[in-house]
Structure 1
Amino acid sequence: MNDQLIKNLSTELKIKPEYIKNVLSMLSENSTVPFIARYRKEQTGGLDETQIKKIEDEYRYLENLEKRKDEVIRLIEEQKMLTKDLKADILKQTELARVEDLYRPFRQKRKTRATEAVRKGLKPLFELMLKQDISESDLEKEAEKYLNEEVSNVEDALSGAYDIYAEHISDNAQYRKVILREIKNSSLLISTKKKNAEDEQKVFEIYYDYSEAVKNIPPHRTLALNRGEKMNILTLKFEHNMQRIEGYLSSKVINEKSKIAKKLNTVIEDSLKRLILPSLEREVRNGMTEIGESHAVNIFEENLKSLLLQPPLKKHMILGVDPAFRTGCKLAVINPSGTFIDKNVIYPHMPVNKKKQSEKIMLDMIKKHNISLVAIGNGTASRETEEFVSELINNNNLDLPFIIVNEAGASVYSASEVAREEFPDFQVEERSAVSIARRVQDPLSELVKIDPKSIGVGQYQHDVNQKNLSEALDFVVETVVNQVGVDVNTASYTLLEHVAGLSPQISKNIVAFREENKGIHKRTDLKKVPRLGPKTFEQCVGFLRIIDGKEPLDQTEIHPEQYKNAKKLLETIGSSIEEIGTDDIKMKLEKLDQRAFAEENDIGLPTLEDMVKSLIAPLRDIRDQYDTPLLKSDVLELRDLKPGMKLSGTVRNVTDFGAFVDVGVGQDGLVHISQLSNRFVKHPLDVVSSGDIVEVTVMDIEIHKKRISLTMKKQ
């Protein structure tokens, strides 16, 4: 572990060096991020999962940077060209690209015009030019000395020397640094439509004749431009202040007494247009793309986190409906535990149109299973199915709410190996109906079965690095699952494998073990699960809850390593372990001098604070602090909306330019960023998250375009 890197990281992240050192040490010992965040707060100063992951990623980058610096120094030293100043310059760099710039003159080059000129023996002619004390006529005479089988005339000799000079200028790290800064600060990016390009939906219309300063282009626009270019609709190019850039290079390359200034200006122009600018433009575009991708991934992360943290609708018998026209609406009933109970199919729509029969089948299922909530997928035929269900409820005077469920990714789950294992004899659509019902009952447990990229809450998700996106989203899922906790006796292996320390195989072993033993009755039973060793047990056990087990503390977030202290705490306040979660124990713990108890029992104050919270509310669920989904009892249509109408809605997706809100008309409305609040909003995520219940006012409706403009501003 490099103390200097830790010091640098401490300055950058504004985190104490000892906390960073402790985090890195624990990670090196195979401790997981969720475990460190939850159960090692004293060693980290209470860092959360995101901060711990940031430490891990940044330290790895700095390590790789130092390795590359050492390698570059070694490679230059081997050429016996390493100077004290150059070494110092390499060592002080904080970006890999700048290290590569310093190495550029010494790198073994592929075949270039300059390397070919050197091979032909023209380097001495370039070195003569470098002194700039020879006239053009004398230079031409000197060039005659370098004619050979491959260099047939003076023009070829001079041309080769110019090529070497152009590359020499291009290899100068300082020149590149200044010009790069100039591009970032002053250059424009120009976008035009390609001739004969097909853009039927005019998706990229605003970029057909567009220009903007590089420094002002927002991340989402970068990705949009990249996509248009990739689809051969747009042509992108830079517009630079060439007078300033050429003026700068001339002042650096051409000395006051130069006798070949005119020739050198031509060399400078060639070096810029052929070598420097294309290279730096690529670097700028890559940097913009990297920022754009990182930003898009962050938005996806926030949306996914909000979606996974939606509160479960517990204690409901739910009828899930997967709408369709020709193949019929698939129905599936699940009980409050998520267990499948019954299924059927109805044909209330054209072309089959068996509406009366469909009503009878659905009504019978509602009454037979005492259904308390209907969940309708928002895919094809959703609107018509919603009307059918609403009419059935009203005609039969049922006190039965329904909810529209975003079924993005349901088809992915339904065709997956996980779904086939759960319901081997079901049709794909029947599995979807079960999944739709479960998404309402416990969104987290159901959504973890699906690739996060298929859940439909991203922006430009197909335009970003898929490996980075997958890693980021997997981290979000892991963080949320561990923050919520898992009932080890009901969780699927797909949910268990996201628990800290658990692999897919160990998760399957846990499910097999509980089936063989008719449940897991205490946390220590997990030690008997095949391949679940001491380190894995330490990492996972605090996140696995056992409800109504033999040890009351097993239902809490308290780690078994602290059970002794927890029992001592109960003894101190005069309560029994059976009283945890009662009002009486809450009153006693509120009077406790926590600092004194912590000091007397050698327990960290953060750990004690978490222990107290768990004893007061052993089954607490962080999802309870979020808005519960909106339930409906009637149907609105797009044509029912009028400007000025006030509605409640659910935020479905958040983008850079605003939030899409489901107001129950089958088409999400857009609250533009300028309409999110009466105050200035830097980014929509500062105001709303996916799953939020918000009050909106209709501003405008374009029925033919299916566009709804909404505002959240207070009127």
Structure 2
Amino acid sequence: MNEIKNRVLTKLQSELKELNNRQIEKVLQLLDEGNTVPFIARYRKEATGALDEVQIKEIQDVQTRLLNLENRKDEVIASIAAQDKLTLKLQEEILAADKIQIVEDLYLPYKRKRRTKATIARENGLQPLADWLRTYPSQANLDGEAEKYVSKSQEITSSQEALDGALEIIAEEIGDQADFRETARQTTLQKGILVSKLKKGAADDRNVYKEYYENEDKISNIRSHRVLAMNRGEKEDVLSVSIQTDDDGIIAKLIDRTIPEDKQSSPAVEWVERAVIEGYKRFIKPAVEREIRNQLRENAEEQAIAVFGENLTHLLLQTPLKDQTILGFDPAFRSGCKLAVIDHTGKLLAVDIIYPHSKGDASQKAAESKLLEMIEKFKVDTIAIGNGTASRESEQFVAETIQSLDRPVAYVIVNEAGASVYSASEEARREFPDLQVEERSAVSIARRLQDPLAELVKIDPQSLGVGQYQHDVSQKELTQTLDFIIETSVNRVGVNVNTASMALLQHVSGLNKTTAQNFINYRDEQGVFTNRTQFKKVARVGAKTYEQAVGFLRIPNGDTPLDNTGIHPETYKEAQHIMNMADITIDEIGTEEAKSSILYLNPAQVKEETSLGSETMKDVITSLINPGRDMRDEMEGPALRTDVLSIKDIQAGMQLEGVVRNVVDFGAFVDIGVGQDGLVHISKLSHQFVNHPSDLVAVGDIVDVWVEQVDLDRERIQLSMIPL
């Protein structure tokens, strides 16, 4: 096992050249000791050289991949050795392989196979005939040589059968040659074309896959979203997808490498050439095409998952609308619009229902009156309107209604994707047992404006409406990636331990569903936490769990202001020493005077007197200057509106401000306030070449766009971020 670990470490250091060996070794050691990625990134910066969560996770992932590779190598070597067929050269080739596919190619000739035509030929004693053919005798009677095997086996009735059997053996041997498979693989990757066609008799009523009815993409540069689109069309029985490659060129190469140039006159050449063609077409080509289709799918899925993860990160880390009373507005037509008011802490104050879209002036006036009454009674600052059914009409109603107020009240269109999923969940039933599903949805819409992170972690990320083809990718890989994104986002922000839901707490470093619930149980039974030391009294929170979690759990208005910072209790003593050096008390931290006093300190002297590492010292000082800091406050806030636009109001050439709702491989969808997101194609993002839209824009960004084209019939809007 140690030998495998050493091989993995060597390859890991070689693969991650941008990191030094010490950083990699230290990260692996910290992970082996049971530390979480967020904890290592935040509190072990000196040890790792200030690597962030993504870099640490990459080390962890690459190590896992390399361990799997090295373990498979040992399994293959052991299997071949057990057959007494392992040579030193073969062992060296296996150990040098840097991909699992190369290992499997080398193992193929020694792998137990199902009973094939070649197997039967060997059972009938035809292996020597196949070997003789590959000696390329110059003067030989093939039929006469083959006739010898007819008398030896009752199963062989003619020389033709004997030669056919020998051909099967040679074809299988050709198909098993690792270097031949690699030749075919590389040629297909470089010159191959992925072809899609409309299946005969297939139904594609909405022309979803029209672009792929007669389509060819070079494998070497195909875009990942096109691969996923073709795969989905194939799965839905609309498209047929295949690979075209230079078969003749590959066969010619294999023949040249199989038959020596000085043996061309042998009568055996014709048979061996036929065997090469059979070996390629029946064994190598189908296997290589399966591999490449799988590789294209895996690469496309990896890209789609990365895009989804990037979008989710920006969605979760949107700026919260703090210290405001918010009215959640869940639009609907016949069933009425559900209203929910929450205070600045997220506590539910009231729910109600109005029917602004019913026919008749009485219903509309009653709806207007009730909305104004709730706004005035609870001093509502902002209205969060869900962007689902009846959103446009509801926005119009709200915009007109708030004009009569004598104080400013704004509204925001909130992406309500997943709100209905949350509303019917066990979490929602536990939180609001007395509310109807639709009323819970209105609360969720309000809360996701007030604190997007705290609310969105309650919802299955796949229901959040960002990304592309998320239901077509490996759900295991997607879940692992999204879990990491959520965990990283939660721990970067920190969690108020006295108000956090279980859905939020379970993503805190070191905690899980059980310990998160135990925190809530303690809160319910003992009252709010007043200091971090009390965490040790929570059931199943041992020393390691406490160490990993405590720095990410905040207590506003507790016994000490330090408990509302990202300072870990292991450095409280040093933090106090810094305050003493600055001649300030603990209750003064966060004030302008304290900030000035701390910044006036000599960093070199602070480092010497506290023995803190440079990175940790910076983090402690930052927390003392700004306790309770929320990194999201530095980002752009939500786009507040007081008026409304309709898709009929916009015209080509108009300049508008919009909010990026989704980023995909081919562009970005932008909400410009007309109820239908417009697409900024990747070619319209910048005058410069854009490798991927995420290089320029992110979910939640507020951007200036210009209207290029409006299709009212199809409700499609084409936008540009390049001024027209």
TM-score between the two structures when normalised by the length of structure 2? 0.97
Alignment of 1:22-33 (within 5 A): 22-33=26-37
**1:123 maps to which of 124, 127, 133:** 127
Q: Do the aligned partners of 2:39 and 2:509 also contact (CA within 8 Å) in 1?
A: yes
Tell me the SS of whatever aligns to 1:345.
Answer: strand
User: Deviation string for 1:491-523 (max 9, x for gaps)?
Assistant: 111110000001111111111112222210000
| Aligned residue identity for 1:93 | A
Aligned to 1:707: 716
**2:15 maps to which of 1, 4, 12:** 12
Displacement of 1:212 in angstroms is 1.9
**2:344 maps to which of 321, 336, 344:** 336
Alpha-carbon distance in 2 for matches of 1:45, 1:467: 31
Alpha-carbon distance in 1 for matches of 2:694, 2:652: 26
Q: Do the aligned partners of 1:132 and 1:260 also contact (CA within 8 Å) in 2?
A: yes
Alpha-carbon distance in 2 for matches of 1:336, 1:275: 67
**1:204 maps to which of 203, 206, 209:** 209
Aligned to 2:563: 554
Q: Do the aligned partners of 1:639 and 1:703 also contact (CA within 8 Å) in 2?
A: yes
Aligned to 1:541: 550
**2:179 maps to which of 174, 197, 203:** 174
The change in CA–CA distance for 1:252 and 1:169 in structure 2 (over 3 A counts) is same
**1:615 has 2:624 as partner:** yes
Q: Do the aligned partners of 1:626 and 1:692 also contact (CA within 8 Å) in 2?
A: no
Aligned to 2:497: 488
**2:220 maps to which of 209, 215, 218:** 215
Q: Do the aligned partners of 2:41 and 2:50 also contact (CA within 8 Å) in 1?
A: yes
User: Deviation string for 1:446-474 (max 9, x for gaps)?
Assistant: 00000111111011101100010011001
User: Deviation string for 1:347-377 (max 9, x for gaps)?
Assistant: 1214688212211222211111111111111
Alignment of 1:291-310 (within 5 A): 291-310=299-318
Displacement of 1:81 in angstroms is 1.4
| Aligned residue identity for 1:74 | A
| Aligned residue identity for 2:117 | R
Q: Do the aligned partners of 2:561 and 2:627 also contact (CA within 8 Å) in 1?
A: no
Alpha-carbon distance in 2 for matches of 1:405, 1:149: 80
Alpha-carbon distance in 2 for matches of 1:460, 1:541: 38
**Structure 2 gap ranges (5+):** none
The change in CA–CA distance for 1:671 and 1:136 in structure 2 (over 3 A counts) is farther
Aligned to 1:522: 531
Tell me the SS of whatever aligns to 2:241.
Answer: strand
| Aligned residue identity for 1:207 | Y
**1:689 has 2:698 as partner:** yes
Displacement of 1:397 in angstroms is 5.4
Aligned to 2:649: 640
Aligned to 1:145: 149
Aligned to 2:83: 79
The change in CA–CA distance for 1:154 and 1:321 in structure 2 (over 3 A counts) is same
Q: Do the aligned partners of 1:412 and 1:450 also contact (CA within 8 Å) in 2?
A: yes
| Aligned residue identity for 1:47 | L
| Aligned residue identity for 1:182 | T
The change in CA–CA distance for 1:298 and 1:227 in structure 2 (over 3 A counts) is same
Aligned to 2:191: 186
Tell me the SS of whatever aligns to 1:520.
Answer: coil
Tell me the SS of whatever aligns to 1:131.
Answer: coil
Tell me the SS of whatever aligns to 1:127.
Answer: helix
Alpha-carbon distance in 2 for matches of 1:712, 1:176: 47
Identity rate, percent = 48
User: Deviation string for 1:605-633 (max 9, x for gaps)?
Assistant: 10001111101111111111211010111
Displacement of 1:400 in angstroms is 1.4
Displacement of 1:343 in angstroms is 0.7
Displacement of 1:694 in angstroms is 0.6
User: Deviation string for 1:512-569 (max 9, x for gaps)?
Assistant: 1122222100000100111111100000000001111101210110000000010011
Tell me the SS of whatever aligns to 1:700.
Answer: strand
User: Deviation string for 1:133-174 (max 9, x for gaps)?
Assistant: 166743454245246343333332222211111010011111
Alpha-carbon distance in 2 for matches of 1:553, 1:146: 92
User: Deviation string for 1:308-331 (max 9, x for gaps)?
Assistant: 000110111111111111111111
Displacement of 1:197 in angstroms is 0.8
Aligned to 1:59: 63
| Aligned residue identity for 2:19 | I
Aligned to 2:688: 679
| Aligned residue identity for 2:578 | L
Tell me the SS of whatever aligns to 2:465.
Answer: coil
Alpha-carbon distance in 1 for matches of 2:577, 2:143: 93
Alignment of 1:248-397 (within 5 A): 248-255=253-260, 256-257=262-263, 258-350=266-358, 354-396=363-405
Alpha-carbon distance in 1 for matches of 2:304, 2:395: 33
Tell me the SS of whatever aligns to 2:194.
Answer: strand
Alpha-carbon distance in 1 for matches of 2:143, 2:95: 40
How many positions carry a matched residue from both structures? 715
| Aligned residue identity for 1:583 | E
Question: Structure 1 residues 448-457 or 3-12, which shifts more?
Answer: 3-12
Displacement of 1:597 in angstroms is 2.3
Q: Do the aligned partners of 1:660 and 1:669 also contact (CA within 8 Å) in 2?
A: yes
| Aligned residue identity for 1:49 | E
**2:236 maps to which of 208, 231, 236:** 231
The change in CA–CA distance for 1:692 and 1:420 in structure 2 (over 3 A counts) is same
Question: Structure 1 residues 49-58 or 575-584, which shifts more?
Answer: 575-584
Question: Structure 1 residues 582-591 or 623-632, which shifts more?
Answer: 582-591
| Aligned residue identity for 1:462 | H
Tell me the SS of whatever aligns to 1:643.
Answer: coil
Q: Do the aligned partners of 1:452 and 1:474 also contact (CA within 8 Å) in 2?
A: no
The change in CA–CA distance for 1:143 and 1:182 in structure 2 (over 3 A counts) is farther
Aligned to 2:480: 471
Question: Structure 1 residues 333-342 or 10-19, which shifts more?
Answer: 10-19
Question: Structure 1 residues 476-485 or 563-572, which shifts more?
Answer: 563-572
| Aligned residue identity for 1:99 | V
**Structure 1 gap ranges (5+):** none
Q: Do the aligned partners of 1:678 and 1:714 also contact (CA within 8 Å) in 2?
A: no
Displacement of 1:592 in angstroms is 2.3
The change in CA–CA distance for 1:396 and 1:622 in structure 2 (over 3 A counts) is closer
Aligned to 2:93: 89
TM-score between the two structures when normalised by the length of structure 1? 0.98
| Aligned residue identity for 2:552 | F
Q: Do the aligned partners of 1:332 and 1:343 also contact (CA within 8 Å) in 2?
A: yes
Alpha-carbon distance in 2 for matches of 1:393, 1:601: 56
**1:438 maps to which of 447, 465, 472:** 447
Alpha-carbon distance in 1 for matches of 2:200, 2:614: 68
Alpha-carbon distance in 1 for matches of 2:140, 2:674: 79
**Cα RMSD (Å):** 1.5
Alpha-carbon distance in 1 for matches of 2:487, 2:599: 32
Alpha-carbon distance in 1 for matches of 2:576, 2:408: 47
Tell me the SS of whatever aligns to 1:177.
Answer: helix
Q: Do the aligned partners of 2:171 and 2:276 also contact (CA within 8 Å) in 1?
A: yes
User: Deviation string for 1:13-42 (max 9, x for gaps)?
Assistant: 121112111111111121100000000001
**1:590 maps to which of 584, 599, 606:** 599
User: Deviation string for 1:168-209 (max 9, x for gaps)?
Assistant: 001111111121111111111111110011111111111111
**2:252 maps to which of 244, 247, 250:** 247
Alpha-carbon distance in 2 for matches of 1:423, 1:323: 20
Displacement of 1:595 in angstroms is 3.1
Alpha-carbon distance in 2 for matches of 1:454, 1:466: 13
Alpha-carbon distance in 1 for matches of 2:500, 2:379: 25
Alpha-carbon distance in 1 for matches of 2:436, 2:302: 39
| Aligned residue identity for 2:346 | G
Alpha-carbon distance in 2 for matches of 1:478, 1:352: 50
Tell me the SS of whatever aligns to 1:463.
Answer: coil
Q: Do the aligned partners of 2:149 and 2:156 also contact (CA within 8 Å) in 1?
A: no
